Structure 1
Amino acid sequence: MSVVSASLNSKICVVASSEALSKAQAWADFFKCPLNPVNLSDFFFHFHVENDRVYVRDLENRLLEIDFDKNHLDYERKGHRGKNELIAKALGVAKGYRKVLDLSVGLAVDSVFLTQLGFEVTGVERSPVLYALLKEAFAKTEKEYLKSYQLHFSDSLQFLKENKGKLDIECIYFDPMYPHKKKSALPKQEMVVFRDLVGHDDDAAEVLKEALTWPVQRVVVKRPMHAEELLPGVRHSYEGKVVRYDTYVVG
């Protein structure tokens, strides 16, 4: 497992049941944090490892769990339109493009949907806690179309710089975190914990600039409907009711 930044270990601890101590110790080593500390209140995030379940709670008891089979975050979209989905059109499904690099996996809602639509997805996640939750969810899932998913723990900008020309990728997908509006309604508990873990992508423009140097056909950026382009040069925009997909044609 990769080395995690030292700032995390003061915020998180691992809490394990007796039958899951081996797995829990591996994640404690990954986070460089205590396992089953005496004073749980000293840590804002509690990474729970049980025999058949892994999840995170914060000090306010809000829960974040990723489970592709339970589908509580709408991972299995029954009524999708296949090749007519905007995200599929933006990525060039009509031209036969299938191999996608997702630079910001997050909760993997879009990543899983792309896989469901027939894309071969390689994902990058820089939050160590989200990476751990995703890693466990992909290992646990019984959905065959997710078995081939390739997940990497890395900062997206660093990943792009280190892997240019090394991967068989046709398109890049990027969904940067947006600063949330102060007047917006309080999101569900999963989103509160998610935002606390991830923060904002302040380097989003720099990541996109680097992505545009890759030998791929398209780079697609998901944006709020009325937001400015992340960088100039958008060739096509596929607009929905709430978000749009800005497509940069590279190859």
Structure 2
Amino acid sequence: MSLVFASLDGGLRICVRASAPEVHDKAVEWASFLKAPLNPENPEQYFFHFFVEPEGVFVRDQEKRLLEIDFDKNHLDYERKGHRGKNELIAKALGVAKGARRVLDLSVGMGIDSVFLTQLGFTVIGVERSPVLYALLKEAFARTQKDYLKSYELHFADGLQFLKQNKGLLEVDAIYFDPMYPHKKKSALPKQEMVVFRDLVGHDDDASLVLQEALTWPVKRVVVKRPMQAEELLPGVRHSYEGKVVRYDTYVVG
């Protein structure tokens, strides 16, 4: 993955900011995790600012654009009303009619698809390799009042390495992968959050390698989310479930 605004050692130009005494310990923990200074004297020198407040955490960039994950505020439509349950394209692609119930999501991102999958009744294990997004997700899962999200299992890891290290150790029925590409539009995000999101995560340049490794897992299906006009990530798509903007390419493994 190529990180925008990253140093040569992979560190983001980010600082942690917190002023309330009651969140000091949490701020120290996240500063250590992000390898970022806490309340630096020169915050204007950092492109991203990770705020730790009593009411939650969020990120702003130098242009004051906001990135926040809060499943209960639902500002990103986490609580989808009127969904079609097992008839949703993503559910069909993952093989819900074939008994698929446990899903490994290799690129959680803002958690929009992962949370929707839990709404649809799937048990989801999520992997996110952006440290900032992981921190935002971790806090959001810890704060949520939604019971169906309490059992969500979130891992901070590189998807490719996670696959290699956990093959045969996790019982999942299907793998879901939504890689980032330069041309991909995250239309579910408001404009300002989409800009910050892109700047944080960069592009999944190793997407084909991740998919190649996923196809070696003992699962029934591997599903890749793609823009409608994009080429297949790898040959061998068995079924393609097409929506208006995106499609779900399904590789049948076992």
TM-score normalised by structure 1 residue count: 0.94
Identify which range, 172-181 or 129-138, moves more after superposition.
172-181
The amino acid of 1:39's aligned partner reads: N
Q: Which runs of 5+ in 2 are unaligned?
A: 1-7
**Cα distance in 1 between the residues matched to 2:106 and 2:190:** 24
Matches of 1:238 and 1:122, distance apart in 2: 23
SS of residue paired to 1:208 = helix
Query: What residue number does 1:25 align with?
Result: 28
Q: Which has the higher contact order (CA 8 A, sep 6+)?
A: 2
Give the equivalent residue in structure 2 for 1:92.
95
1:195 equivalent to 2:198? Answer: yes
Q: Is the 8 A contact 1:17 1:51 kept in 2?
A: no
Q: What one-letter code is carried by the residue in structure 2 that aligns with 1:77?
A: R
Does the aligned pair in 1 maintain the 2:184–2:227 contact within 8 Å? Answer: no
How far the C-alpha of 1:17 sits from its partner, in A, is: 2.1
Question: Match for residue 221 of structure 2?
Answer: 218
- Residue 211 and residue 83 in structure 1: after superposition, are their counterparts in 2 closer, same or farther (change >3 A)? same
Note if contact 1:97-1:171 (Cα within 8 Å) is conserved in structure 2.
yes
1:83 equivalent among 81, 86, 89: 86
Q: How many residues are aligned here?
A: 244
Asked whether 1:233 is paired with 2:236, we answer yes
Instruction: Tell me whether 1:70 sits opposite 2:73 in the alignment.
Output: yes
**CA drift at 1:187:** 6.1
Shift of 1:16: 0.6
Give the RMSD, CA atoms, in angstroms.
Answer: 1.6
State the match for 1:12 in structure 2: 14
1:46 to 42, 46, 49: 49
Superposition deviation, residue 108 in structure 1? 0.4
Unaligned runs of 5+ in 1: none
- 1:128 counterpart (115, 128, 131): 131
Where does structure 1 differ by over 4 angstroms across 4 or more consecutive aligned residues?
Answer: none
Q: In structure 2, what is the Cα distance between the partners aligned to 1:243 and 1:63?
A: 26
Counterpart residue number, 2:118: 115
1:40, 1:213 → 2: CA distance?
45
The aligned counterpart of 1:242 is 245
